[in-house]
């Protein structure tokens, strides 16, 4: 009897000592935004969905009637742990919908629910593309259409496959919901496709994009971001001229683009003086731009200019 009493007390103490992060509800905090200067209609709704990574089933969803509110839209999604089931992982995705049709979507992000407060930061929204595909996956003689703006999809030989993200040691790995034996493993724009027992190891993801006649707003200079509230732009015209704002001064140059190669010639700029930090950023931008030899488009539409020595510029258009 004494033994049973001691055992009961031990179990009670163990239950009381259980970490609250594993028993209490979790709150996922973040915000939705997009870069374009576009006003949302009054009827727009923000939708935040938590899914099971291994089944893509929606576990918790929150809908926020915007009623004229514009981005950024902050959210706090409460998650009762009994709703989580036995999922091996979770993904979170945000949308802005009009009449239940997605108008803006974020990429799904993987997250852990180890604590009571989970801050996911900013979910960057992109325009929804409907049934359109934004990229081509080229694996030797196999060509597939790909899209990563609304979750992930592949269309191979006329068959549409919905991809869900699965655990990977590096890069990003997807598995087809309709064909569990079909996987796509991407590292940057290179990857490997497995389907019907066959492996296609040399896959390249090519994203369609237009270099010219849009204003590209630079968001990163050689991996260091840019100074808050500063602005760097690039406009490539159809006549081989390049110009924009370099942080402080306006600049101009000639350019030639063939395939994915790029060359910049005869650069020049105005001679205004600004704060030292802006001038230093401007010099880094102009040096990297002048040395750029290649360009490519990311699956989300961003433009990347690259030099032979590993420097880069990343930009998006409004």
Model confidence over 42-79: pLDDT tens digits? Answer: 888 999 999 887 666 788 999 999 998 999 999 999 99
Strands 26-33 and 117-127, sheet pairing: parallel
**pLDDT for position 48:** 95
**pLDDT for position 164:** 86
pLDDT in tens, 216-256: 999 999 888 999 999 999 999 988 999 999 999 999 999 99
Instruction: Choose the weakest-confidence range: 1-15, 147-161, 217-231, 265-279.
Output: 1-15
Residue 282 — φ and ψ, nearest 5°? Answer: -60, -45
Closest CA to 235 of 221, 255, 249, 220: 255
**Cβ–Cβ under 8 Å, residues 90 and 53:** yes
Summary mean pLDDT of the chain: 83
pLDDT in tens, 164-201: 888 888 888 899 888 888 999 988 778 899 998 899 87
Judge if pTM exceeds 0.85: no
Q: What is the C-alpha to C-alpha distance for residues 165 and 53, in angstroms, rounded to an integer?
A: 7
Spatial neighbors of 14 by CB under 8 A, at least 6 apart, are none
Closest CA to 232 of 88, 240, 222: 222
**pLDDT for position 207:** 67
The residue assigned the tokens 């910049």 is 264
**pLDDT for position 56:** 60
């Amino acid at each position: 009897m004494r033994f049973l009493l001691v055992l009961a007390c031990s179990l009670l103490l163990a239950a009381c000592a259980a970490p609250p992060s594993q028993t209490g509800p979790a709150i996922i905090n973040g915000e939705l935004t997009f870069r374009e200067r576009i006003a949302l209609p009054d009827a727009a709704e923000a939708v935040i969905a938590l899914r099971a990574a291994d089944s893509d089933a929606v576990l918790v969803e929150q809908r926020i009637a915007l009623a004229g509110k514009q981005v950024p839209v902050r959210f706090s999604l409460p998650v009762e742990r009994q709703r989580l089931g036995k999922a091996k992982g979770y993904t979170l995705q945000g949308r802005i919908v009009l009449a239940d049709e997605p108008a803006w979507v974020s990429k799904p992000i993987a997250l852990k629910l180890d604590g009571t407060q989970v801050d996911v930061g900013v979910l960057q929204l992109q325009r929804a593309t409907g049934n359109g595909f934004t990229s081509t996956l080229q694996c030797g003689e196999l060509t597939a259409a790909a899209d990563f703006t609304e979750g992930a999809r592949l269309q191979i030989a006329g068959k549409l496959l919905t991809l869900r993200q699965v655990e990977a040691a590096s890069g990003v790995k997807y598995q087809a919901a309709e064909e569990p034996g079909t996987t796509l493993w991407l590292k940057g724009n290179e990857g490997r496709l497995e389907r019907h027992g066959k492996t296609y190891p040399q896959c390249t993801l090519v994203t369609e994009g237009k270099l010219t006649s849009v204003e590209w707003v630079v968001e990163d200079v050689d991996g260091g971001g840019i100074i808050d509230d500063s602005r760097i732009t690039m406009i490539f015209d159809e006549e081989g001229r390049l110009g924009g704002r370099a942080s402080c001064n306006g600049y101009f140059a000639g350019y030639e683009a063939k395939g994915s190669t790029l060359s910049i010639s005869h650069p020049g700029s105005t001679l205004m003086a600004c704060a030292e930090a802006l001038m230093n950023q401007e010099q880094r931008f102009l040096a990297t731009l002048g040395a750029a030899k290649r360009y490519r488009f990311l699956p989300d539409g961003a433009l990347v200019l690259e030099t032979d020595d590993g420097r880069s510029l990343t930009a998006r258009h409004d």
